Chains A and B, each alone.
Chain A
Amino acid sequence: MKRPMTLVLVLLLALALPAAVFAGGQKEAAPGAAAAAAGNLERSLAVDTSGLKSEDGQPLIILQEKQREVPSRPANPDALPEDDPLHWWDIEFAGWNANKQNIPESPKDGAIGKSIVFIVHGDHPWTTACTLGAQKIANAYNMKFKPLSPNWDLAVQNQMIDQAINERPDMILLIPLDAKTAPQQARKINQAGIPLILFNTLPSAAAMDYCITWTGPDDFGQFRMLSRVWADEMKRIHGTSGVGVAYTQHAPGGSPYFARCWGPISELSGYAPWVKTLDKQAPGFEADKTMQLVSDWLTRFGRDLKGICAADDSSQALGIFEALEKAGRRDVVVVAAGNSKVGMDLVKDGKLFAITYQTAEGDGALAVQTAADWFNGKEIPPVKYLPKHIITKADVEDFYPPQW
Chain B
Amino acid sequence: MNNDSKKGRGREKTLTFIDRNRIFLLFGVVFLVMALFAPRFMTSFNLTTIMRTTAMNATAAIGFTLILIVGQLDLSIGTIITFAGVVGLGLKQYIGYGGSVPIAILAGCAIGLINGLLVAKAKISSFIVTLGMLTLLQGAIYTITRGNSISLSSPDAFAVSDWLARMIIPLITPRVVITLVLVGGFTVFLRLTRVGRNFYMVGGNRQTAWLSGMDTDLYTIVAFVISGFTAAVGGVLFAMEGAAATLNLGNTSLMYVISAVIIGGTAMSGGKGGVLKSFFAILMLDVLYNGIILFGLGNEVKIFIAGIILAAVVLYEAYTRYKHDKTVGQRAELLKEVDELKERIKTAKHRAAV
Are A and B co-members of a single complex? yes
CA distance A122 to B38 in the complex (A): 23
Asked if B163 CB lies within 8 Å of chain A CBs, one says: no
Q: List the 8 shortest-distance A-B pairs measured between CB atoms, nearest first.
A: A252-B147, A180-B151, A27-B296, A181-B244, A24-B297, A206-B153, A162-B49, A253-B149
Q: Closest A-chain residue to B29, C-beta based?
A: A14
Q: Are B312 and A9 in contact (CB under 8 A)?
A: yes
Interface range, A side: 35 or more
Q: Are B158 and A178 in contact (CB under 8 A)?
A: no
CA distance A195 to B182 in the complex (A): 38
A166 CB contacts on chain B under 8 angstroms: 40, 43, 45-46, 49
Q: Please encode chain A, from 13 to 25, with 1 for each CB lying within 8 Å of some chain B CB and 0 for all others.
A: 1101110110010
Q: Are B242 and A3 in contact (CB under 8 A)?
A: no
Q: Which of B281-312 contact A (CB under 8 A)?
A: 288-299, 301, 305, 308-309, 312
Asked if B238 CB lies within 8 Å of chain A CBs, one says: yes
Asked if A76 CB lies within 8 Å of chain B CBs, one says: no
CA distance A21 to B252 in the complex (A): 25
Asked if A229 CB lies within 8 Å of chain B CBs, one says: no
B52 CB contacts on chain A under 8 angstroms: 162
Q: Are A20 and B45 in contact (CB under 8 A)?
A: no
| B301: contacting residue among A24, A28, A153, A187, CB under 8 A | A24
Asked if A167 CB lies within 8 Å of chain B CBs, one says: yes
Q: Are A13 and B56 in contact (CB under 8 A)?
A: no
Asked if A159 CB lies within 8 Å of chain B CBs, one says: yes
Asked if A98 CB lies within 8 Å of chain B CBs, one says: no
Q: Are B151 and A181 in contact (CB under 8 A)?
A: yes
In the assembled complex, how far is the CB of residue A60 from the closest CB belonging to chain B, in whole angstroms? 24
- Using known A-B contacts A2-B15, A252-B142, determine if residue A180 contacts B296 with beta carbons closer than 8 Å: no
- Most chain A CB neighbours (cut-off 10 Å) among B25, B295, B316: B295
Q: How many residues of B contact A (CB 8 A)?
A: 61
Asked if B320 CB lies within 8 Å of chain A CBs, one says: yes
Asked if A204 CB lies within 8 Å of chain B CBs, one says: yes
Q: Please encode chain B, from 159 to 195, with 1 for each CB lying within 8 Å of some chain A CB and 0 for all others.
A: 0010000000000000000000000000000000000
In the assembled complex, how far is the CB of residue A206 from the closest CB belonging to chain B, in whole angstroms? 4
Q: Of A82-90, A143-151, A237-245, A268-276, which stretch is located at the interface?
A: A143-151
Q: Are A10 and B151 in contact (CB under 8 A)?
A: no
In the complex, besides A17-B33, A159-B49, A184-B242, 11 extra interface pairs with C-beta distance below 8 angstroms are A5-B320, A148-B296, A155-B53, A155-B56, A162-B45, A163-B294, A180-B148, A180-B149, A180-B244, A183-B151, A187-B158
Q: Which of B245-292 contact A (CB under 8 A)?
A: 246-247, 249, 252, 288-292
CA distance A13 to B148 in the complex (A): 42
B120 CB contacts on chain A under 8 angstroms: none
Asked if B22 CB lies within 8 Å of chain A CBs, one says: yes
A184 CB contacts on chain B under 8 angstroms: 151, 158, 161, 242-244
Asked if B99 CB lies within 8 Å of chain A CBs, one says: no
Asked if B26 CB lies within 8 Å of chain A CBs, one says: yes
CA distance A155 to B37 in the complex (A): 24
Asked if B323 CB lies within 8 Å of chain A CBs, one says: yes
A70 CB contacts on chain B under 8 angstroms: none
| A28: contacting residue among B11, B18, B39, B43, CB under 8 A | B39
- Using known A-B contacts A180-B150, A257-B147, determine if residue A10 contacts B242 with beta carbons closer than 8 Å: no
B38 CB contacts on chain A under 8 angstroms: 21
Contact residues of A: prevailing secondary structure: helix
In the assembled complex, how far is the CB of residue A188 from the closest CB belonging to chain B, in whole angstroms? 9
In the assembled complex, how far is the CB of residue B52 from the closest CB belonging to chain A, in whole angstroms? 8
A10 CB contacts on chain B under 8 angstroms: 22, 25-26, 29
A253 CB contacts on chain B under 8 angstroms: 147-149, 246-247
Q: Are A154 and B309 in contact (CB under 8 A)?
A: no
Asked if B319 CB lies within 8 Å of chain A CBs, one says: yes
| A6: contacting residue among B18, B148, B309, CB under 8 A | B18
In the assembled complex, how far is the CB of residue B95 from the closest CB belonging to chain A, in whole angstroms? 20
| B316: contacting residue among A9, A24, A181, CB under 8 A | A9
CA distance A148 to B301 in the complex (A): 13
20 inter-chain pairs at a CB distance below 8 angstroms, sorted by A residue, are A9-B316, A13-B26, A17-B37, A18-B33, A18-B37, A20-B301, A27-B297, A28-B295, A154-B242, A154-B246, A155-B53, A155-B56, A159-B290, A181-B149, A181-B246, A183-B151, A184-B158, A184-B161, A257-B147, A282-B147
CA distance A151 to B289 in the complex (A): 13
Q: Closest A-chain residue to B39, C-beta based?
A: A28
Q: Are B294 and A28 in contact (CB under 8 A)?
A: yes
Q: Are A6 and B22 in contact (CB under 8 A)?
A: yes
CA distance A253 to B249 in the complex (A): 13
Q: Are A20 and B292 in contact (CB under 8 A)?
A: yes
Q: Are A252 and B40 in contact (CB under 8 A)?
A: no
| A183: contacting residue among B243, B293, B308, CB under 8 A | B243
- Using known A-B contacts A2-B320, A10-B26, A151-B299, determine if residue A160 contacts B293 with beta carbons closer than 8 Å: yes
